[in-house]
């Protein structure tokens, strides 16, 4: 039993590393999205600014646990064993909950998750103690164990921050866009300089309030007396001369902006990078302790218990823990480094950022969320309200305003630098106000809802996408509120198991950590192995050579999937068929996400005079490739369905026929791959002998199948499976033949694409 509580401390620190990783993945959305969505710089530069912000924030962090965390429960009413079990339940629950949200690609609040985990665990332990037959406490004494008013304050703060952030983002950005328009580069010399000065002034104040204020809290009790006094006097001076300080900041940044604009530099890029740095620093300086505070508090609890002579843990009161929990600076810096490594190497970070960017992007593309009755009702209401509201204004004024909201087409970035700077500036202002007023809020909620408000003002939510965007926002908000509820339930249940099972549950928790880590490592390695098989490369502009490049990996993947499906069904091997189906679904997902959803955008880049024929050629290539993928879908689905449902294996003759067909099909795939590699179809013989052989073989096998049915040799399920494979194989062959014919024609008539306009209808007939 001597090693029982030290082992719990070790488990808590292992969990804190996992919590750092999943927490950073989730909170990365706060400071990355504006820069990534607007492409203010390369991803590497954005990550460097974010990393510097995290490192500096960790270095300047106060290391003090949040007021909300130490105010959720009263340690003086709990014993040492109770507190340790509460902390362990919180860390296990928090890691599980945040990892679920990260996997789903939904941003949530790490603060809310931590607070409600603490509340759930403390509530469960308190109820056990009150309900104990040895306790004579009345039920209303629960208010002594749990500080419910703090939870209520946090919940109200969350609700208000969501509404205020969205409205502020929509209204403020409406006027920003009105002054800038989408042709903002023409107005950088005047409007851009003023807006830059306002943005940088507010974000500088944000850094001081969230940065220096936290630093002051951390060093007030240290030996750096002169520095602490200087920081304290500086902050007090800023608060007493608030407007003068802001005016000086505004003048300073106006001069800097004017100089850079006169040199031809797009100053808004610096604004976005500066905002990314400031938000990353604020996150590390204030939220980092959310993830490491619990293990440090557990060590402090253990030391208090040890110094008391290690009395019975179930009887030792923990009122000494009611004070602040100081986290060593070295531990915070190490934690910051772990988070930076996660920021650079985690793939889930991209998944989280893609949710907000997808919901706020200006350009066309696939929608991540489906519509529902509620979102459709909201959109219809505002369409009706908009018609009635705008009737009140003169048409001439509305036309004038409309010119500033005329969007530029075919931009590569999700939104422009004006909106990105507005996102960061408005978020900084709101968080600064809340910090000064000591109001609880979540940086995730503020930054996300500001981004949604600005996208609404920019009319990114048009008639084509509004129902999907509204549905997505509602789903994210629902996830936020569910975070608190789920955290409370999970943490409460785990704390009950810990309380009664004690050592056994600790062993189970430790083994679970090892299993989770092993699974994640395996998943990473597996994805690396299959990465080359399932990759589909995007095509940005139309050309014949580009189509060769895009078809090569697709047909390599199709050949592999087809072969595995045929071999898998002949061997009746469920593992091979599952792998084949999994690879196919990944291929289909990439094809639709990268090629299908960009089809119209790519074709729009064609020129009517010279590229019309190439556009039609690309459309036919796309259509035939899409058909092949749909035919392959049927083969992979039906083969795995046959084996999963334990239907009879294929007969020997059927297996032999399929393997023979698979050999012919491989030759056909190899011929197609040869064309894409050599980028030349002139040497291919017409008509294609292998394709004639495949069609004859399929007809022969179908005849054999019919004879087998008449002679009652084959079962019904086997018959339908064979017919599906044969028919879809024939359709795949015909589609490949169509693609080869297209390349053959364009190879012999390529001069017509550069010298004169060719009849576009010639590619429509085969």
Q: Can you say whether the dihedral through the CA atoms of 424, 425, 431, 435 is positive or negative? A: positive
DSSP string covering 567-587: HHHHHT-HHHHHHHHHHHHHH
Confidence of residue 328 (pLDDT cuts 50, 70, 90): low
Mean per-residue pLDDT for 617-642? 88
Is the pLDDT score of 430 beyond 70? yes
Partners of 326 in the beta sheet? 64
pLDDT at 322: 67
SS3 at position 366: coil
pLDDT single digits (tens) 32-56: 888 888 888 888 898 898 888 888 8
Residue 233's CB is within 10 A of a number of other CB atoms, namely 10
The model scores a pTM over 0.85: no
- Which residues have C-beta within 8 Å of that of residue 489, sequence separation ≥ 6? 120
Is the pLDDT score of 731 beyond 90? yes
Q: What are phi and psi of 599, to 5 degrees?
A: -60, -50
Mean per-residue pLDDT for 513-520? 55
Reference 59, options 292, 287, 329; nearest CA is 329
The Cα–Cα gap between 13 and 9 comes to: 6
Place of tokens 């630098």: 417
Across 691-712, b (16+ Cβ under 10 Å) vs e yields beebbebbeebbebbeebbeee
- Longest CA–CA span in the chain (Å) reads 100
pLDDT at 633: 92
The Cα–Cα gap between 173 and 453 comes to: 8
More confident residue, 411 or 25: 25
Residue 270's CB is within 10 A of a number of other CB atoms, namely 20
pLDDT at 534: 44
Which of 29-33, 54-58, 265-269, 758-762 is the least confident region? 758-762
pLDDT single digits (tens) 651-705: 888 899 999 999 999 988 888 888 888 777 666 666 678 888 888 999 998 888 8
SS3 at position 46: helix
In terms of Cβ atoms closer than 10 Å to its own Cβ (0-12, 13-18, 19+), residue 626 is: middle
pLDDT single digits (tens) 396-418: 888 888 887 777 655 566 778 88
Cβ-contact 747, 680 below 8 angstroms = yes
Cβ-contact 125, 49 below 8 angstroms = no
Place of tokens 């096998």: 701
Reference 642, options 717, 576, 582, 580; nearest CA is 717
In terms of Cβ atoms closer than 10 Å to its own Cβ (0-12, 13-18, 19+), residue 330 is: exposed
Q: How far is CA 361 from CA 357, 403, 420, 554, in A?
A: 6, 20, 11, 28
Confidence of residue 76 (pLDDT cuts 50, 70, 90): confident
Q: How far is CA 487 from CA 20, 147, 218, 667, in A?
A: 17, 17, 29, 56
pLDDT at 325: 55
The Cα–Cα gap between 736 and 730 comes to: 10
- Which residues have C-beta within 8 Å of that of residue 721, sequence separation ≥ 6? 569, 638, 639, 642, 647, 650
pLDDT at 289: 66
In terms of Cβ atoms closer than 10 Å to its own Cβ (0-12, 13-18, 19+), residue 232 is: middle
Partners of 317 in the beta sheet? 79
- The CATH number corresponding to 535-763 among 1.10.10.10, 3.30.465.10, 3.60.21.10, 1.20.58.220 equals 1.20.58.220
The Cα–Cα gap between 280 and 282 comes to: 5
The Cα–Cα gap between 468 and 103 comes to: 21
Q: How far is CA 658 from CA 178, 602, 651, 662, 731, in A?
A: 66, 39, 11, 6, 16
Is the pLDDT score of 363 beyond 80? no
Q: How far is CA 377 from CA 456, 467, 471, 476, in A?
A: 17, 9, 11, 18
List Cβ<8 Å contacts ≥24 apart for 532-537: 533/557, 533/560, 533/583, 534/583, 534/586, 534/587, 534/590, 535/590, 536/587, 536/590, 536/591, 536/594, 536/595, 537/594
Q: What are phi and psi of 727, to 5 degrees?
A: -65, -45
* Element containing residue 346 per DSSP (H, E): none
Partners of 64 in the beta sheet? 326
Locate 533 and state its tokens: 């098989």
Partners of 146 in the beta sheet? 73
DSSP string covering 406-473: PPPSS-SSSS-HHHHHHHHHHHHHHHHHHHHTT----HHHHHHHHHHHHHHHTT-S-TTTHHHHHHHH
Place of tokens 């980028």: 679
CA atoms within 13 A on the CB side of 456: 21
pLDDT single digits (tens) 573-619: 888 898 899 899 888 888 877 776 666 666 666 655 555 667 777 78
pLDDT single digits (tens) 250-305: 999 999 999 988 888 889 999 999 988 888 887 776 667 667 778 888 888 888 88
The Cα–Cα gap between 664 and 676 comes to: 19
Domain residue extents for the chain: 4-184+273-422+434-501, 502-533, 535-763
Is the pLDDT score of 547 beyond 80? no
Place of tokens 């996150």: 283
Is the pLDDT score of 538 beyond 60? no
């Amino acid at each position: 039993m001597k090693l029982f509580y030290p082992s719990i401390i070790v488990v808590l620190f292992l969990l804190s590393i996992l919590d750092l990783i999943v927490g950073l993945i989730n909170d990365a959305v706060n400071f990355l999205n504006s820069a990534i969505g607007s492409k203010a710089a390369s991803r590497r530069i954005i990550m460097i600014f974010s990393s510097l912000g995290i490192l500096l924030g960790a270095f300047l962090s106060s290391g003090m646990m949040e007021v909300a965390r130490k105010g959720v429960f009263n340690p003086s009413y709990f014993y040492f064993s109770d507190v340790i079990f509460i902390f362990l339940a919180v860390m296990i629950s928090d890691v599980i909950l945040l990892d679920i949200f990260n996997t789903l690609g939904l941003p949530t609040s790490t603060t809310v998750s931590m607070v409600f985990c603490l509340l759930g665990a403390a509530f469960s332990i308190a109820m056990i103690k009150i309900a104990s037959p040895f306790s004579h406490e009345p039920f209303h004494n629960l208010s002594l164990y749990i500080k419910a008013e703090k939870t209520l304050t946090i919940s109200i703060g969350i609700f208000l921050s969501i509404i205020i952030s969205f409205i502020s983002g929509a209204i403020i950005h409406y006027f920003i866009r009105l002054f800038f328009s989408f042709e903002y580069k023409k107005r950088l010399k005047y409007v851009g300089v003023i807006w830059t000065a306002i943005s940088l002034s507010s974000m500088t104040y944000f850094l001081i309030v969230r940065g220096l204020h936290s630093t002051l809290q951390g060093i007030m009790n240290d030996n750096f007396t002169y520095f602490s006094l200087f920081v304290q006097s500086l902050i007090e001076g800023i608060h007493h001369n608030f407007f003068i300080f802001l005016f000086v900041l505004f003048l300073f940044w106006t001069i800097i902006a004017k100089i850079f604009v006169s040199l031809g530099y797009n100053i808004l890029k610096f604004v976005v990078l500066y905002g990314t740095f400031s938000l990353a620093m604020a996150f590390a300086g204030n939220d980092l302790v959310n993830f490491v505070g619990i293990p440090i508090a557990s060590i402090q609890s253990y030391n208090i218990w040890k110094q008391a002579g290690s009395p019975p843990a179930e009887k030792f009161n923990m009122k000494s823990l009611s004070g602040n929990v100081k986290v060593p600076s070295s531990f915070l810096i190490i934690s910051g480094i772990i988070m930076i490594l996660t920021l650079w190497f985690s793939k889930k970070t991209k998944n989280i950022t893609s949710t907000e960017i997808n919901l706020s992007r200006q350009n066309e593309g696939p929608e991540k969320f489906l519509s529902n009755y509620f979102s459709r009702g909201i959109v219809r209401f505002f369409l009706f309200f908009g018609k009635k509201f705008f009737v009140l204004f003169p048409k001439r004024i509305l036309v004038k305003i409309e010119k500033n909201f005329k969007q530029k087409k075919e931009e590569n970035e999700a939104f422009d630098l004006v909106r990105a700077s507005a996102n960061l500036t408005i978020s900084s202002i709101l968080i600064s106000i809340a910090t000064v007023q000591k109001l609880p809020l979540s940086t995730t909620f503020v930054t996300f809802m500001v981004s949604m408000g600005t996208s609404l003002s920019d009319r990114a939510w048009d008639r084509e996408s509004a129902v999907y965007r509204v549905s997505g926002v509602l789903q994210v908000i629902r996830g936020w509120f569910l975070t608190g509820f789920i955290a409370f339930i999970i943490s409460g249940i785990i704390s009950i198991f810990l309380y009664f099972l004690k050592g056994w549950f600790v062993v189970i928790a430790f083994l679970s950590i090892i299993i989770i880590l092993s699974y994640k490592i395996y998943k990473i390695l597996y994805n690396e192995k299959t990465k080359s098989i399932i990759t589909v490369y995007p095509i940005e502009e139309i050309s014949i050579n580009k189509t060769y490049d895009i078809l090569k990996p697709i047909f390599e993947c199709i050949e592999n999937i087809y072969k595995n499906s045929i071999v898998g069904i002949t061997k009746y091997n469920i593992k091979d068929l599952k792998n084949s189906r999994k690879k196919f679904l990944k291929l289909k997902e990439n094809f639709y996400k990268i090629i299908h959803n960009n089809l119209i955008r790519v074709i729009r880049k064609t020129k009517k005079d010279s590229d019309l024929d190439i556009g039609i050629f690309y459309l036919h290539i796309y259509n035939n490739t899409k058909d092949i993928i749909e035919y392959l879908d049927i083969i992979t689905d039906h083969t795995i369905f046959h084996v999963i449902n334990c239907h009879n294996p294929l007969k020997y003759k059927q297996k032999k026929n399929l393997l023979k067909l698979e050999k012919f099909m491989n030759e056909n795939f190899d011929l197609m791959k040869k064309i894409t590699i050599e980028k030349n179809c002139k040497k291919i013989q017409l008509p294609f002998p292998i394709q004639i052989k495949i069609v004859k073989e399929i007809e022969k096998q179908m005849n054999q199948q019919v004879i087998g049915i008449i002679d009652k040799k084959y079962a019904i399920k086997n018959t339908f499976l064979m017919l599906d494979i044969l028919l879809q194989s024939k359709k795949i062959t015909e589609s490949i033949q169509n693609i080869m014919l297209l390349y053959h024609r364009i190879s012999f008539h390529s001069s017509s694409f550069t010298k004169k306009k060719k009849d576009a209808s010639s590619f429509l007939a085969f």
